[in-house]
Amino acid sequence: MRRVLVAVALVVALCGGCAGSGVPRPVGSTNSWSRERFLRAHPPTGTPTAEPASFGKKVGALFSHDTKGDHFCTASAVDSPGRNLIITAAHCVHSGEGGGYVSDLVFVPGYRNGNAPYGVWKVKAQFVDDRWAKGSDPDLDVGFAVLQPLNGKNIADVLGANLLGINQGFTNLVRVTGYPKTSDKPVTCINRTSKELKYQMRFACNGYAPGTSGSPWLTHYDPKTKRGEVVGVIGGYQLGGLEDAVSYSAYFDDDVRKLYERAIGQA
């Protein structure tokens, strides 16, 4: 599949073979006419192109073991009671039917040009829905990972964390930020999502090449709290899309909420 050819190869090599969160939605700020607010009033037309991201420390790249190798997926910090959770695509942490969890993963938030400004965080545990693990169900291509503390702190203590948005509908203005495998800098783009299939959302923007699987779809961003709601991650249909200009996400419904609750219950 286009976006995860290298990721799938790595998974095979390594593996062998919220509404629901109880956290209230952030209230939009009226003090800043941000790009997001402007685009809500003037929705984009056509297919935009991703630009280099100059912000977004809650988003980072996934590596195997350390930053000496290639990053192959994207993940982001999401709110949890333990303040130690990230969200990504299920296929970034588990190879699906016939396989198992990827071992020795690290999350590097804000990664740029070989630098890890907020540290290298080791993954302690991963969680995917059993229907992904047993049958690679694209409608459940969502995964969570619990991180070990670093220097006595949890990831949300250092970065903050976005909320998990459950059952927010198929049409949202979102910002999607992720790490193409061929770049050491993230890209970002804003556009409105649409419904693709019964449990799949669609996001159109040029520039989402391999490596961007797991990129968070962030909406309802509040410039005061500097966080929003993650309502999708690149993955799902066609493992996220066969073209760099069109990306997909499994719809975040009660199944994703239950997976989130399972992850925080065992964190």
Q: What is the pLDDT of residues 131-187, one digit of tens each?
A: 999 999 999 999 999 999 999 999 999 999 999 999 999 999 999 999 999 998 999
Q: Are 234 and 208 in contact (CB under 8 A)?
A: yes
Report how many helices (DSSP H) and strands (DSSP E) the chain contains, helices first.
6, 15
Q: Are 254 and 23 in contact (CB under 8 A)?
A: no
What is the rounded distance in angstroms from the CA atom of residue 121 to the CA atom of residue 235? 23
Distance set, CA 172 to CA 60, 70, 111, 205 (Å): 23, 32, 27, 14
- For every residue of 73-132, DSSP letters joined together read EEEEEE--TTS-EEEE-HHHHB--TT--BPPSEEEEET-BTTB-TT--EEEEEEEE-HHH
In the predicted structure, residue 130 carries a pLDDT above the cut 90: yes
Task: Select from 132, 152, 253 the least CA-distant residue to 200.
Answer: 253
What is the rounded distance in angstroms from the CA atom of residue 261 to the CA atom of residue 73? 23
What is the rounded distance in angstroms from the CA atom of residue 121 to the CA atom of residue 130? 26
Q: What is the pLDDT of residues 34-71, one digit of tens each?
A: 555 555 555 556 788 988 988 778 999 999 999 988 99
Task: Select from 6, 53, 67 the least CA-distant residue to 185.
Answer: 53
Q: Are 178 and 76 in contact (CB under 8 A)?
A: no
What is the rounded distance in angstroms from the CA atom of residue 14 to the CA atom of residue 99? 10
What is the rounded distance in angstroms from the CA atom of residue 100 to the CA atom of residue 36? 39
- Read off the pLDDT band of 196 (50, 70, 90): very high
Tell me if residue 231 falls in helix, strand or coil: strand
- Read off the pLDDT band of 266 (50, 70, 90): confident
Q: Please state the three-class secondary structure of 37-62 as a single string.
A: HHHHHCCCCCCCECEECCCCCCEEEE
Q: Go through the domains of the chain in sequence order and give each one's CATH number.
A: 2-266 (2.40.10.10)
Rounded to whole angstroms, the maximal C-alpha distance in the chain is 52
pLDDT at 225: 85
In the predicted structure, residue 246 carries a pLDDT above the cut 60: yes
Total-model pTM: 0.84
Cα 207 versus chain centre, distance: 16
pLDDT, the chain, mean = 86
- Read off the pLDDT band of 190 (50, 70, 90): very high
Residue 6 CB partners (closer than 8 Å, separation 6+): 70, 72, 181, 210, 211
